[in-house]
Chains A and B, each alone.
Chain A
Amino acid sequence: MSRTPLSAGEAVEELFQLHADEVYRYAVCVLGNRAEAEDVVQEVFIRVLRSWERFRNESAAKTWLWTIARNCVHDVYRRQSRRKEHLMGAEHLPEPASPVQTPAETADLELQETLAGLSESYRQVVTLRLIEDLSTEDTAKVLGWSTAKVRTTLHRAVNALRKVLGPDGVLLDPQTGREQRPYGI
């Protein structure tokens, strides 16, 4: 039986239901902020909906979606960096961390401390390859890199993670190499 073709709205809604969580997780990993990650999810699917007619199945929908997600995340990351620079330039002090209360916040903090020392490109490649389990080829397409660059960057990123996680997977202070207090408390 042939399936009735979906309208753009229906097709994108299906894509949203299937991949919104992945895009969200990806944005959380790279940006380290759930609220901004939600904005990214929204922006990604708005762009998908608007450019659906241009997509025409020329590439795999998932790769196309990830490329849009990557661009959105990159835009927000740049904005974040500028904001941080501005705050540091103005000698604003960072707000003291609030006491950890929920398991989600605890997990986020652990993740952030793990990824804190990684550059944006390391975070991108680690998230796409190790967390979202994209192939090297798909990761290269999404990031607009060669497969060799994906492999090299991933290798360096994993080495950097090893230094942070330590031999037993316990978070270490990258400066001192000593075990960190649990979740920075």
Chain B
Amino acid sequence: MGYNDIQQKLATMTADISLPRERKQAIWANIQRETIVRERKARRRSFGVSQQWFAGIAAAVLVVASVAIASTEWLHRRGTTTAVYPSHQQVPAGVVFEYRGHSNHWDVILRESSVQQKETDSLLITYKGDGGPTPVEVQCTLTPGTAGSQSYRAALQGGQAELALQSPVNEEQFAAVGEQTFSVNLKWNGHTETLKLHYAGN
């Protein structure tokens, strides 16, 4: 048999192979129905996937944020280390002044050992930045008899104690401070002592 004969033979064998009309209609209806079903499934799957993505991204953001906060805190502490300048010459005799920054507040720590006669005086501490990126001005008053002053009173009476006073500076302000010099005024017993603190920034 030649090539054309074989082709002819196959054409004869397959001549009647076609889809009956009603089968064709039924298959087309199935195709449309099945397409809709599969699209719905695909949408549900992609929604599930996007939920997973969202959860994954949220978790990653949380991790990054935690690390950022932790490192910011560390930087602040490190910055604090460089910013602690008890300027002994300028502080009233017997008072050791420390300045510590944290991620969301500042501490003023006074160590005082010899100035015992000032127990009724209030101590006013003001900070004022000299114009860094975000000048900061804070004023704290320490008055004997208030809760915060108890250890101060004890310090005054007992000669050696530590007092921490938190300044109401929020995190954003603190983070933006950068390098600047603060004037810290200690108003104490009718006279004012000013000391300069250089803050090296974060």
Q: Which residues of A contact B (CB under 8 A)?
A: 9, 13, 16, 20-21, 24-25, 28-29, 38, 41-42, 45-46, 49-50, 103-104, 107-108, 110-111, 114, 126, 130-131, 158, 161-162, 165-169
Contact = CB atoms under 8 A, between A and B. Distances in A.
A103 B35 CA distance: 34
A20 B28 CA distance: 10
Contacts of A165: 1, 6, 9
A126 B19 CA distance: 21
Contacts of B58: none
Interface in B1-51: 1, 3, 5-7, 9-11, 13-19, 23-24, 27-28, 30-32, 34-35, 38-39
Nearest to B4: A130
B25 to A, nearest CB: 10
Contact of B24 (A20, A131, A158, A169): A20
Given A21-B18, A131-B10, A38 B23 contact: yes
Contacts of A46: 31, 34-35, 38
Contact of B13 (A13, A50, A107): A107
Contacts of B30: 42
16 contacts: A25-B14, A28-B17, A29-B17, A38-B27, A42-B30, A46-B35, A46-B38, A50-B39, A104-B16, A107-B16, A107-B17, A111-B13, A114-B9, A126-B10, A130-B7, A162-B6
Contacts of B11: 130-131
A16 B6 CA distance: 29
B44 to A, nearest CB: 16
Contacts of B18: 21, 24-25
Contacts of B15: 107
Given A45-B31, A46-B35, A49-B35, A169 B9 contact: yes
Given A38-B23, A45-B31, A103 B16 contact: yes
B14 A29 contact: yes
B17 A20 contact: no
Interface of B: 1, 3, 5-7, 9-11, 13-19, 23-24, 27-28, 30-32, 34-35, 38-39
B121 to A, nearest CB: 82
Nearest to A34: B17
Interface of A is mostly: helix
Given A131-B11, A158-B6, A169-B9, A25 B17 contact: yes
Nearest to B28: A16
Q: Could you say which of B6, B7, B24, B31 has the most chain A C-beta atoms within 10 Å of its C-beta? A: B31
Given A29-B14, A114-B9, A114-B13, 5 more contacts: A20-B19, A24-B19, A50-B35, A169-B1, A169-B5
A25 B14 CA distance: 7
Contact of B31 (A42, A103, A126): A42
The 9 closest A-B pairs by CB, nearest first: A21-B18, A25-B17, A111-B13, A130-B7, A45-B31, A169-B9, A49-B35, A24-B19, A42-B27
Given A38-B27, A41-B27, A46-B38, A161 B6 contact: yes
Contacts of A107: 13-17
A41 B6 CA distance: 26
A38 B19 contact: yes
A46 B5 CA distance: 36
A20 B5 CA distance: 26
Contacts of B38: 46, 50
B3 A13 contact: no
Q: Could you say which of B1, B3, B11, B34 has the most chain A C-beta atoms within 10 Å of its C-beta? A: B1
B3 A158 contact: yes
